[in-house]
Every structure is written in structure tokens, then in C-alpha cells.
């Protein structure tokens, strides 16, 4: 028998790597696969500890873990490098050794005059555990915060908890615990996970939005809005979930009209609700999107514009009266032709309009209700018409339209005739036109609105009839009406939660809490029992992070001024519309009060793409299956148990789709640095990340581990060579060759410093940075030992590589840096601070004489490149660049006979400069 046995003991994690590495190996060399190895674990339900490799025609590894079978074909198992990764136990030891240093690298920035970089990742909702999407967002934020710290900036990198809200309350009810307890437990769990991952947050800035010390100021901002006439009570027809007993946003109602959460059929109810008059800022919010400081907003800008709508309608309020002139309410109306507002008008309402609903039979409403024209005091008849009825057209998403019958066009003859008949209208023939400015001035003076907004934009309905939120600080007095709680009495704290007994407890059930005396007249009154939409809590948290322990103010303007607008805001696309809109609204409002120094809160926006994974659905039932229950062949996939055909797709990772990967399990398996690389690798942050798994492990893993191994090997080789006796031996390679090595390494170092800095600063494409560092490492590998011994360039390049890698793999970089810094002698002592950790090194810059290019584009076509020494390009002004560009024949030719209308000069230090010339004839 030609039989051979290999015996070795490995851990499960190592096995996964080996098999993955081998598959990769096979793919790369399809030509010969002569061996089949059989790996037969003694007990397939346990970790395979022993392997027998049997030699016949082929070698084949079969490994059984959770039902997977993996085949492994190789040419020659002995020659294969099975351990192309750093010993996991060694790595784990390093990560523990450096954990504190890595996690706490960010000292609280003091006011030392350094420029600031506020790197903000959207704070999480404390749902219990981090998911992979969180890890993607926070890994990017942490990497970029480290990058800016190396650059010498004062980096603000805070974290906190978006802790109020319905999901927490419902989860607490289900478990029979207090929402506060549930939330605090989750916060503790997730804080630990974030710390385990090694993210260097400013923990001294941490808070939860459910802390009274925070929501006290949310209430304060509400009172400021109230004072400014921007918080008001109105009636609105709302989506009412009869099971959860709360109002739902439109997005929370599915296509069948059921609640996304409880599944109950949603009812329409007319309720008195609190609104914030966000529409009053829509002109400012719309035009603010054109602010030059906004970068990376791209499609988000379009989404915001779409949501806000073109502010082309003047909004104003109309008092509604009955026949006896008794006021019954207030409506907001709008006009595209406000200069005609003083003319006789008719207010057309859809049957669903809250006013009509409140007053019973819609047809009767026409006879006994009038709106009052705020300009003239005239009574305006109200007509109820469905969309299209008698020729009326309402703009999309509106339920009212103010018409001036004598101004209707010929196309609207049907409508004109109808109004004339039903209202016995007789045209006076004269048209009263006012200047728009006069109209606005008069409306504002009367407190009747007078601001531009799109017809469809609604005010922000913030009332929630639930316990777990910020209480609205209002007292309802029978005499004084809605009275604000004096700021000195804030916070209006939530009452302690009693037993819940599986039912929601709205604030109205806490009688001791509800019954208070009126702050104005002392009469027995009742507190407002609605709490605020959680979007209100998250609308200003980034300001509080800058002054988190201020007990006298929400924040001090001097504390926030140096750090605003937020330099970089990172988060999921699902917050691209509402959260950004509300946060911008509050910032615009605070700016109007002089409380913040700028109108736009966020400069760069990085909207992170979703993490996707393969899903498996049984075709007949639509049931999701975990990968382990699926058999895949070239022709398709089937369910293992039943043999039913399975549809394979890519969807967002989630528990319900059974395609999730738990970050904590991955962390245990691959360690901190590799996990960071895994979530940032492969796709640009804004793109979807397809997280493909091969036999249960991420496909990208072997490559990323191989890179770290090479990095480690390079440092280890250097240490070995330098420590060996041969150091003193005379040179064995020709000088010329030695110099060639030096030149190549110098070139590579400069190139990689330039490109990595550019990607980190300008494109945020950390995935590209990873690829660049892999290449840079390859460029340093395999240099002759004499070069490693003697070359200053080699040491400089390797030190630089470790600093460049430090934001991505901080633990590994720390360890390797320590190994290097123990070496004698130090060729590049002036280049690095060898007595400090890699975390404290200055970011490398390119050599002053390194050549970089200035590219000239005329009408977006390349017309030539000029080469400059990096230090000279640094001094080049936009005018200098244009002057130099015009000496190039290509530029001369393409601008001949044309006028240069615009130039735009962009300079990326150490990497490139681009001059854009627009020329037209
Ligand atoms: Zn009162």
C-alpha cells in the first residue's frame, strides 16, 4: 500500500484558514491537481484534531463542520505553506497587550490652538448587540480619526446612545422590565463590545439621550421653539396603531396598511398634536444645500431637495370661523401667486382634510364654516372637492388649495363654472394686486405666517403618545391654556416606571405626575402627556458632544465654535432623509437665535453602504435558510433536508434573513485588527459591501491575513538580520545595485505616502488604502539582507509603512513598531520618534524633492502634465498654475481663440494637483 499518514493537531480557526488558503491555491493553479487528501476528524461533530492523509491518485481534504464538506486538492501538500497567517495565539497576545494603548490613544483635546477635526459616526440605538453594519461605520470612523490624529489635528471622536424610542419600550414590555433598565443593560453590553473592538472614542463625552441631564436641554430647545412661535398644537389625522396605542409615521405603515411593528391594521384618527413649524425654515434648508462647504452629499442632496421641495409657495395661517364668527380652528394655506392674496378667494379642501373630518358632513361644512383672509379680514368660503372633481387639481401630497375664481385660466372653465354656481359668485372684474414684499410683511406683522415653502412639505409632528421619550415641557391650564414650564424647572423628568403587566403605560396614567399647578396662575392644571419623537433627541446631540457636562446651558457657543461644522459625518443611508433634515432644521433654528456659529451642521457626509450577504430562500415557501442547510451545485441549490429548490440572492445582512454574521463571533475568530480590515476591505465605504463567505468564513480573510503575515515577516527579517553577527561583514553586493534598491524604496515610500494620504483625506476609500499597503509591503519583501542591514531607505520605508498601517491595524502596528524600535543602530532617528509608540508618530510626508504632477484639463479633457518637486508644488498658487499651464502646447491649442471662463485648482499635497480650465469661444 502506497500510503502516507500526516498527523497534526490544529485548532478549528486554523483549520478554516488552511482550507480556505488551499482552495485559493487551487484556483490559482488549475493545471495539476494530482492529490486527494482525506481529512477525517475522529468525531465530525467536534473540532477536528487529527488528520490522516491518504495517498492514492489524488489527495483530498474533506472537513465536516456544521454540515459543510470542503474538498481540497493540491499538487504537493508538503510544499504548501499552510500557515500563511500569524499564529493566532501570538496575535491575540499582542492585541491584549496593546488594547489599552490603542483604545485610549485619544487624550481629551485641550485648547492648545491646534486645528480641529470633528469625526462623528452616527450614535447607535442601544438595541442589544452591535451588528456588522455598526462595525463597518465605526471602523471607518475610528480609522479616519486615527489618521487625523497622526496629522496633528485635535480630533473629536465621540460616542453616545440614541436611547429613547418605541422599540426599547416594546422590548421592555415584552420582558416585563422597565425600559430604562433594559436600555441601560444594552448600553453596557454595546459599550463593552465597542471597547473590545478597540475603537478610540472620547468616552469622557458619552451620554444617553434618555439621561435627564441631556433631555433637560432637548426640552429647553423645545421651549425656545415655542417662544419663537414654531411649536404649536394642531389637529392632524394620524396613523394610529391600536395595539401599540401610538401614532406611527407614514414609513411605519406597510403597503397593506398594517403597522410595521405590531402588524395591526392601522386606523386613521384625528388627534390634537404638537408640531414644529419646520416649513418656516424650508427656504433656508433648501438653499443651504447649495452651500459650498457641503461635500460628499451627492444623492443625499437630491433626496433632501426632493423631501423639502422647491420653496415656491407662500405659506400663511387662516383662522376658521363658524357663521357666528366663533373661531373653530386654524389652517395653514399656501399660494403660488401671493400677490393676488387680497382678491376674493375660495378655500378648496379634500374630504380627508382634518377640518372637514372634525366638522362632520363635508357638504354641510361648506355652509357653516369660513376661513378668514389674513390680509383683508374677508370671509373665504370653504368648498370640499375630491381631486379631479369639477376639474380641480391639487398638487401632489397636498390636501388644500386656495383659489381666486376670477383668476382661473380658460382650461379651468369647469371649475370656474362650478364655483360660480355653487357660491353664486359674481366677479367684480377688478383685481387687487399687492407687491409680494408687502404681503409677506403684513402676514408676518399679524403673526399669520408669510414664509416660503413647497406646497407639499408638512410641519414636523413630534407628539408621541408613549412613555419612553422626552416629555414635552408644557402645562395645560384651564385659564391660561398651554403654558411652558419655566426653564429653571427643567428637566420635566419622566416618572419612575411602575409594573407594566405587558401593556404600554402612557404618561396620562401617572396621576401624581400629571396633576400640577399652572406655572402662571397656580391653578390646578395638567401636564402635557405626549413625549417627543426620538428624531428630536437626535437632532442636536452632536452639539452636546462638544460640551457634554455643561449643567448651565445646552452647550456654550465658545465650546462648539472651533469644531463646527462637523468635519465628517458617517452613517447609514436610512438616515439620509429624515434625521439629516431634522438636524439641519434645528441647527438653522439655533443659528437664527445666535446659539451656533454656522447654519449647516455637517460638512463632509459619508453615507455608508449596506453590508450584504448571500441569502437562501426555498422557492415554494419563501422561507429563509441558513447556508448550512443548503446544498449547492453548479446547476443550483437545494434544501438539504427536503431537496426543494432554493433561490440564491444577495440581501442586507439580518437575523430574519438568516444571513447575518455576528461581530462578536468574528472577533473571537479573527481578532480585532483583521475584523477591522474585513469590514473595510473590498468596497468603497459608500458602496454596498458584499460579504461573501466560503465554507462559513469570509472570502477576503486569507488575503488580509497574508498581508499581516508579510508585514510581520518583514519586520522579523529586519530584526534577525540586524541582530546577526554578519552585520559587520563587508559589502557583498555592488554599490550600484545597493543604490538601485535605495532608489526603489525611496520611490515606493514617497508614492505610497502620497497616495494613502490622498485616499484617506479626499476619497475616504479605505479599501484602496488596504490594497496600496499590500503593494507597498510587497515592494519591501525579498530585499537582500545587506540592504536591510545597511540601507537607511529600507528602515525609513518600513517605519513609514507601519505608521501608514497604524490607523487600520493599530494593535499589530504597535507590536511591530516596538520590535523595530528595539533595534540598533537607528539610521532614521531624526525621521521618527523611536521612543514613542507608533500611535504617537507624525504622519509621514513626501520628500521635498519628490516629483509630483500638475495635470491640466481643458473642458475636462487632459491637455498635459507638468512635473514639480513636491515642495515647489506646495508653494504654487492657482494663478501660477494657470500661467505655467498656458506654456504647454496642448493647452495653447485647446484654448486658442477661446475665452477662459473659469478655472478651478485642486491641490493634494504630495500626490498631485489638477487645474481645470473652462474655455468657450
Ligand atoms: Zn394658569
Distance, CA of 13 to CA of 10 (rounded, Å): 8
Answer yes or no: is pLDDT of 215 > 90: yes
Half-sphere exposure of 743 (CA within 13 A, CB side): 6
Are the CB atoms for 198 and 810 separated by under 8 Å?
yes
Question: Considering only 18-22, 315-319, 347-351, which range has the smallest mean pLDDT?
Answer: 18-22
Q: How far is the CA of 355 from the centre of ligand 1 (A)?
A: 28
pLDDT band at 737 (very low <50, low <70, confident <90, very high): very high
* Residue-wise pLDDT tens digits, 663-722: 888 898 899 999 999 999 888 888 888 887 776 678 888 899 999 999 999 999 999 888
Band of residue 361 on the pLDDT scale cut at 50, 70, 90: low
Distance 676 CA to ligand 1 centre (A): 58
CA of 526 to the centre of ligand 1 (A): 10
% of the chain at pLDDT higher than 70:
87
**Average pLDDT over every residue of 327-355:** 88
- CA torsion angle for 587, 589, 592, 597 (degrees, to 10)? -10
CA 548 to centroid of ligand 1, rounded, Å = 35
- Between the CA of 475 and the centroid of ligand 1 the distance, in Å, is 9
Distance from the alpha carbon of residue 482 to the mean position of ligand 1, in angstroms: 9
Ligand 1 centroid vs 490 CA: distance in angstroms?
18
Q: How far is the CA of 215 from the centre of ligand 1 (A)?
A: 25
Q: Is the pLDDT of residue 166 over 60?
A: yes
Check pLDDT > 50 for residue 25.
no
Please calculate the CA angle 390-392-398 and round it to the nearest 5 degrees.
Answer: 140
- Expressed in angstroms and rounded, the spacing between residue 527 Cα and the centre of ligand 1 is 12
Residue 23 has pLDDT above 60, yes or no: no
Checking if the pLDDT of 557 tops 80, the result is yes
pLDDT of 132 higher than 80: yes
Between the CA of 484 and the centroid of ligand 1 the distance, in Å, is 11
**For 321-335, what is the mean pLDDT?**
84
Looking at the domain that runs over 310-453, which CATH code has it been given? 3.90.740.10
CA of 524 to the centre of ligand 1 (A): 8
Distance (Å, whole) CA 551 – CA 127: 28
What is the per-residue pLDDT for 696?
67
Instruction: Give me ligand 1 centre to Cα 474, in Å.
Output: 12
Q: Across residues 205-218, what is the average pLDDT? A: 97
Fold classification of 851-920 is Ubiquitin-like (UB roll) (3.10.20)
Q: Could you tell me the three cell numbers for 332? A: 395653514
CA 135 to centroid of ligand 1, rounded, Å:
51
Distance 481 CA to ligand 1 centre (A): 7
330 alpha carbon – ligand 1 mean position (Å): 23
Burial 660-691 (b: 16+ CB within 10 A, else e): bbebbebbebbbbbbbbbbbbbbbbbbeebeb
Measured in Å, residue 687 CA sits from the centre of ligand 1 at 56
Residue 645 predicted with pLDDT over 80:
yes
> H or E segment at 802?
helix 792-805
Q: How far apart are CA 900 and CA 612, in angstroms?
A: 47
Maximum alpha-carbon separation in the chain? 114
Q: Is residue 662 scored above 80 in pLDDT? A: yes
Ligand 1 centre to CA of 529 (Å) is 17
73 pLDDT above the threshold of 80: no
For residue 383, the CA-to-ligand 1 centroid distance in Å is: 38
- Alpha-carbon gap, residue 643 to 639, rounded angstroms: 5
Residue 636: band (very low, low, confident or very high) from pLDDT cuts 50, 70, 90: confident
The CA 525 to ligand 1 mean position distance, Å, reads 7
pLDDT band at 110 (very low <50, low <70, confident <90, very high): low
Q: Give mean pLDDT, residues 534-552.
A: 97
> Which is nearest to 811 in space by CA: 716, 676, 662, 680?
676
CATH node for 115-209+538-608: 3.40.50.620
Nearest to 910, CA basis, from 873, 866, 884: 873
> Which of the pair, 694 or 644, is modelled with greater confidence?
644
Q: How far is the CA of 374 from the centre of ligand 1 (A)?
A: 29
Average pLDDT, the chain: 85
Q: What is the pLDDT of residue 480?
A: 96
Instruction: Pull the grid cell for residue 740.
Output: 538601485
CB 282 within 8 A of CB 311: yes
CA angle 278, 339, 310 (to 5 degrees): 35
Q: How far apart are the CA of 510 and the centre of ligand 1, in A? A: 21
Q: Compute, in angstroms, the gap from residue 483 CA to the centroid of ligand 1.
A: 7
Q: Is the pLDDT of residue 362 over 70?
A: no
CA 532 to ligand 1 center in whole angstroms = 23
pLDDT tens readout for residues 441-482:
999 999 899 999 999 998 999 998 889 999 999 999 999 999
Answer yes or no: is pLDDT of 45 > 90: no
836 compared with 352, residue with greater pLDDT: 836
Asked whether residue 497 carries a pLDDT value surpassing 90, the answer given is no
| Dist. CA 237 → ligand 1 center (Å) | 29
CA of 480 to the centre of ligand 1 (A): 4
Q: Measure 459 CA to ligand 1 centroid, in angstroms.
A: 28
At the fourth CATH level, the homologous superfamily of domain 701-840 is Isoleucyl-tRNA Synthetase; Domain 1 (1.10.730.10)
- Tell me the pLDDT band of 53, cut-offs 50, 70 and 90: very low
Mean pLDDT of 116-127: 94
Distance between Cα 522 and ligand 1 center (Å)? 6
pLDDT (average), residues 721-747:
82
Query: How far is the centre of ligand 1, averaged over its atoms, from the C-alpha of 528 (Å)?
Result: 14
Specify the 3-state DSSP secondary structure of 113.
coil
pLDDT at 519: 96
Distance 231 CA to ligand 1 centre (A): 19
What is the Cα–Cα distance from 326 to 614, expressed in whole angstroms? 64
Residue 520 CA to ligand 1 centre (angstroms)? 5
Residues 626-643: what's their mean pLDDT? Answer: 87
Per-residue pLDDT at 177: 85
Distance 120 CA to ligand 1 centre (A): 44
- pLDDT score of 733: 86
Cα of 486 vs centre of ligand 1, distance in Å, is: 13
Please give the distance, rounded to the nearest whole angstrom, from the Cα atom of residue 511 to the centre of ligand 1.
Answer: 19
- Distance between CA atoms of residues 22 and 73, nearest Å: 7
Q: Which of 455, 368, 381, 452 is nearest to 418 (CA)?
A: 381
Collapsing DSSP to helix, strand or coil, 323 comes out as coil
Has residue 175 got a pLDDT over 70? Answer: yes
The whole-number pLDDT of residue 729 equals 58
Q: How far is the CA of 476 from the centre of ligand 1 (A)?
A: 8
pLDDT-based confidence at residue 287 (cuts at 50, 70, 90): very high
Which grid cell sits at 48? 477536528
Percent of the chain with pLDDT over 90: 56
Rounded distance from Cα 437 to ligand 1 centre (Å): 38
Residue 278 CA to ligand 1 center (angstroms) comes to: 28
pLDDT at position 284: 96
In the reported structure, the alpha carbon of residue 485 is separated from the centroid of ligand 1 by a whole-number distance in angstroms of: 11
Confidence of residue 71 (pLDDT cuts 50, 70, 90): very low
Give distance in angstroms: CA of 466 to centre of ligand 1.
26
Backbone angles phi, psi at 645, to 5 degrees: -65, 145
Instruction: Output the CA 491–ligand 1 centroid distance in Å.
Output: 20
Distance 519 CA to ligand 1 centre (A): 7
Whole-number Å distance, alpha carbon 233 to ligand 1 midpoint, is 17
Residue 752 has, within 13 A of its CA and on its CB side, a CA count of 28
Cα-to-centroid distance, 478 and ligand 1 (Å): 7
Domain segments of the chain as ranges = 1-83, 115-209+538-608, 215-277+460-535, 310-453, 611-698, 701-840, 851-920
Report CA(317)–ligand 1 centroid distance (Å). 26
Bigger pLDDT: 207 or 85?
207
Arithmetic mean of pLDDT, 507-531: 95
Query: Rounded to the nearest whole angstrom, what is the distance from the C-alpha of residue 508 to the centroid of ligand 1?
Result: 20
Least confident residue range of 79-88, 396-405, 573-582, 871-880: 79-88
Amino acid at each position: 500500500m502506497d500510503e502516507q499518514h500526516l498527523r497534526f493537531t490544529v485548532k478549528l480557526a486554523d483549520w478554516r484558514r488552511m482550507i480556505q488558503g488551499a482552495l485559493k491555491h487551487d484556483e490559482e493553479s488549475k493545471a495539476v491537481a494530482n492529490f486527494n487528501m482525506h481529512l477525517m476528524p475522529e468525531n465530525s461533530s467536534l473540532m477536528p484534531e487529527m488528520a490522516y492523509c491518504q495517498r492514492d491518485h489524488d489527495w483530498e481534504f474533506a472537513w465536516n463542520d456544521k454540515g459543510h464538506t470542503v474538498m481540497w486538492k493540491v499538487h504537493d501538500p508538503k510544499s504548501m505553506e499552510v500557515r500563511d497567517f500569524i499564529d493566532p495565539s501570538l496575535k491575540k497576545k499582542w492585541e491584549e497587550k496593546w488594547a489599552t494603548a490603542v483604545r485610549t490613544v485619544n487624550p481629551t483635546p485641550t485648547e492648545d490652538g491646534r486645528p480641529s477635526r470633528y469625526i462623528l459616526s452616527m450614535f447607535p440605538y442601544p438595541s442589544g448587540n452591535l451588528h456588522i453594519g455598526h462595525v463597518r461605520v465605526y471602523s471607518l470612523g475610528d480609522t479616519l480619526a486615527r489618521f487625523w490624529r497622526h496629522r496633528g489635528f485635535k480630533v473629536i471622536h465621540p460616542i453616545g446612545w440614541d436611547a429613547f424610542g418605541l422599540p426599547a419600550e416594546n422590548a421592555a414590555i415584552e420582558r416585563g422590565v422597565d425600559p430604562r433598565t433594559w436600555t441601560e443593560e444594552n448600553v453596557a453590553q454595546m459599550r463593552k463590545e465597542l471597547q473590545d473592538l478597540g475603537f478610540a472614542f472620547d468616552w469622557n463625552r458619552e451620554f444617553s439621550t434618555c439621561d435627564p441631564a441631556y433631555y433637560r436641554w432637548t426640552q429647553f430647545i423645545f421651549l425656545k421653539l415655542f417662544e419663537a412661535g414654531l411649536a404649536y398644537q394642531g389637529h392632524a389625522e394620524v396613523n394610529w396603531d391600536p395595539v401599540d396605542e401610538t401614532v406611527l409615521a407614514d414609513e411605519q405603515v406597510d403597503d397593506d396598511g398594517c403597522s410595521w411593528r405590531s402588524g395591526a391594521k392601522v386606523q386613521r384618527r384625528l388627534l390634537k398634536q404638537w408640531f414644529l413649524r419646520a416649513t418656516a425654515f424650508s427656504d433656508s434648508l433648501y438653499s443651504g444645500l447649495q452651500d459650498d462647504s457641503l461635500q460628499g452629499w451627492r444623492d443625499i442632496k437630491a433626496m433632501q431637495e426632493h423631501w423639502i421641495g422647491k420653496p415656491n409657495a407662500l405659506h400663511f395661517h387662516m383662522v376658521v370661523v363658524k357663521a357666528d364668527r366663533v373661531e373653530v380652528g386654524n389652517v395653514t394655506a399656501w399660494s403660488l401667486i401671493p400677490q393676488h392674496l387680497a382678491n376674493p378667494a375660495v378655500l378648496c379642501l379634500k374630504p380627508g382634510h382634518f377640518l372637514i373630518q372634525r366638522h362632520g358632513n363635508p357638504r354641510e361644512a361648506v355652509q357653516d364654516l369660513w376661513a378668514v383672509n389674513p390680509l383683508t379680514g374677508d370671509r373665504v368660503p370653504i368648498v370640499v372637492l375630491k381631486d379631479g372633481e369639477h376639474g380641480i387639481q391639487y398638487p401632489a401630497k397636498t390636501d388644500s388649495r386656495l383659489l381666486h375664481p376670477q383668476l382661473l385660466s380658460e382650461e379651468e372653465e369647469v371649475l370656474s363654472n362650478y364655483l360660480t354656481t355653487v357660491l353664486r359668485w359674481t366677479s367684480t372684474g377688478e383685481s387687487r394686486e399687492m407687491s409680494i414684499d408687502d404681503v409677506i410683511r403684513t402676514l408676518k406683522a399679524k403673526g399669520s405666517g408669510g414664509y416660503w415653502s413647497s406646497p407639499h412639505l408638512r410641519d414636523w409632528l413630534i407628539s408621541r403618545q408613549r412613555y419612553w421619550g422626552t416629555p414635552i415641557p408644557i402645562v395645560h391650564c384651564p385659564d391660561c391654556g398651554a403654558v411652558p414650564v419655566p426653564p429653571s424647572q427643567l428637566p420635566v423628568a419622566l416618572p419612575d416606571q411602575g409594573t407594566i403587566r405587558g401593556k404600554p403605560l402612557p404618561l396620562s396614567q401617572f396621576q401624581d405626575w400629571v396633576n400640577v399647578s399652572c406655572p402662571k396662575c397656580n391653578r390646578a392644571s395638567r401636564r402635557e402627556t405626549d413625549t417627543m419623537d426620538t428624531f428630536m433627541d437626535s437632532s442636536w446631540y452632536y452639539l452636546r458632544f462638544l460640551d457634554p457636562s455643561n449643567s448651565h446651558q445646552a452647550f456654550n457657543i465658545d465650546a462648539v465654535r472651533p469644531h463646527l461644522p462637523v468635519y465628517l459625518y458617517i452613517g447609514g443611508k436610512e438616515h439620509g432623509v429624515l434625521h439629516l433634515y431634522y438636524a439641519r432644521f434645528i441647527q438653522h433654528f439655533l443659528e437664527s437665535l445666535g446659539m451656533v456659529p454656522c447654519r449647516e451642521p455637517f460638512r463632509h457626509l459619508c453615507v455608508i453602504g449596506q453590508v450584504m450577504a448571500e441569502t437562501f430562500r426555498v422557492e415554494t415557501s419563501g422561507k429563509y435558510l441558513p447556508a448550512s442547510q443548503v446544498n449547492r451545485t453548479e446547476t443550483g441549490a437545494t434544501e438539504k433536508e427536503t431537496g426543494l429548490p432554493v433561490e440564491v440572492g444577495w440581501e442586507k445582512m439580518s437575523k430574519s434573513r438568516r444571513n447575518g454574521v455576528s461581530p462578536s463571533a468574528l472577533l473571537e475568530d479573527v481578532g480585532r485588527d483583521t475584523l477591522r480590515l474585513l469590514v473595510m476591505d473590498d468596497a468603497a465605504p459608500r458602496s454596498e459591501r458584499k460579504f461573501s463567505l466560503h465554507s462559513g468564513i469570509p472570502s477576503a480573510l486569507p488575503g488580509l491575513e497574508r498581508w499581516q503575515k508579510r508585514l510581520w515577516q518583514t519586520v522579523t527579517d529586519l530584526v534577525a538580520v540586524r541582530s546577526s553577527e554578519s552585520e559587520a561583514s563587508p559589502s557583498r553586493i555592488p554599490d550600484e545595485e545597493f543604490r538601485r534598491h535605495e532608489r526603489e524604496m525611496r520611490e515606493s515610500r514617497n508614492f505610497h505616502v502620497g497616495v494613502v494620504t490622498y485616499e484617506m483625506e479626499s476619497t475616504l476609500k479605505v479599501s484602496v488604502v488596504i490594497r496600496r499597503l499590500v503593494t507597498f509591503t510587497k515592494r519591501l519583501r525579498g530585499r537582500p539582507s545587506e540592504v536591510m542591514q545597511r540601507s537607511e531607505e529600507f528602515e525609513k520605508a518600513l517605519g513609514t509603512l507601519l505608521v501608514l498601517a497604524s490607523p487600520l491595524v493599530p494593535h499589530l502596528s504597535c507590536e511591530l513598531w516596538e520590535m523595530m524600535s528595539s533595534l540598533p543602530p537607528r539610521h532614521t532617528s531624526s525621521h521618527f520618534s523611536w521612543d514613542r509608540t507608533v500611535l504617537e508618530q507624525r504622519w509621514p510626508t513626501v520628500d521635498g524633492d519628490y516629483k509630483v504632477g500638475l495635470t491640466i484639463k481643458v473642458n475636462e479633457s487632459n491637455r498635459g502634465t507638468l512635473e514639480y518637486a513636491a515642495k515647489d508644488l506646495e508653494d504654487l498658487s492657482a494663478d501660477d498654475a494657470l500661467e505655467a499651464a498656458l506654456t504647454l502646447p496642448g493647452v495653447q491649442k485647446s484654448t486658442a481663440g477661446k475665452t477662459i471662463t473659469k478655472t478651478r485648482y485642486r491641490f493634494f499635497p504630495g500626490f498631485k494637483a489638477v487645474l481645470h480650465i473652462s474655455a468657450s469661444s
